[in-house]
Structure 1
């Protein structure tokens, strides 16, 4: 279970069943049926991880592509701002905690332009897998991650932190998973190097069931400024 720690001494906990379960149910609370006139973009197959060849030379389950050269991990520091130039995102980041049932609390519905960071997990830029979630849309219209599915490999994600440094991540892949088949270990696991996951709703939408899937962006730390 992720422990609750505070301040600069926070250590990034390893993924756990509690954390995985919390993020797995992200979809239902990331969307409120609103006056939507345009569906959010969905990533193309070309932005997914490349299939891994089998001994027979045919594709098997997708395997991570080799990440770009990485930057050294940073000491822990909270994120305060998120920028994704390719889709015009420039948003504050709020800290999210765990509710009594162990699920991750959602970003505020009345602040659709705000992204939320799992404050009980890895800070962006530190060693491990950091998780940032955001609304795709709400009753007020498009959310901060409305355009997430339009990102492509090689796009950059910049996260400014309380220590004045900006962690720059490069997108490795963008994938969509049906909620019933959400791959916990794949999304929340990591290599121990600084990685980032951006998560929002995706797939098809119905007023009764909401969105059918989650869009997940995989990114690796490639630079640090500041």
Structure 2
């Protein structure tokens, strides 16, 4: 076993441990931190697979943006952990069955293309024709070409789905609630003093009441 295979098993073991702690940690903040650790281990595995662009994107997008925002939300909200874990063991058999099926499907897909030894990286035909060296081959450039040529329509569909999700989130946030008071700023600008203030005339003096004891 070479050093690359050893690092693969190390990162994989840490990834599985962090993923297990995400669903078993009692504190939501700890669960989010273990999820950050899982993202870092997945990024390290992608680096071993020579997918540097995907590894850096995972760190920048998920760890640097999504998880930081998630941590802020979790720490600002008062989450009742006991109520969230109330139905855990009730739905555990179904969740465990689905998890095992997903793991078996992923194992069946990955084990077919898994190789213990290092395989030579494929070089584009254009690079072979021009005698371009493998060191000058950019997998990020080839990924961009493949993404915006062969997978252009799935990319556009994913962009539309994300746009719909953003619009739905904004609509749910800005909707009017019946139990909250709302003031129209335009009505405040057009208001007159006579609409808000009523002057009541009272006599300047009034006779004092004399209380008599029975």
**Same fold (TM > 0.5):** no
Instruction: Work out which structure has the larger RCO, using CA pairs closer than 8 Å and 6 or more positions apart in sequence.
Output: 1
More strand by share: 1
More helix by share: 2
Query: TM range, normalised to the smaller chain?
Result: under 0.3
User: For the pair shown, which has the larger CA radius of gyration, 1 or 2?
Assistant: 2
TM-score computed with the length of structure 1 as normaliser: 0.20
TM-score computed with the length of structure 2 as normaliser: 0.21
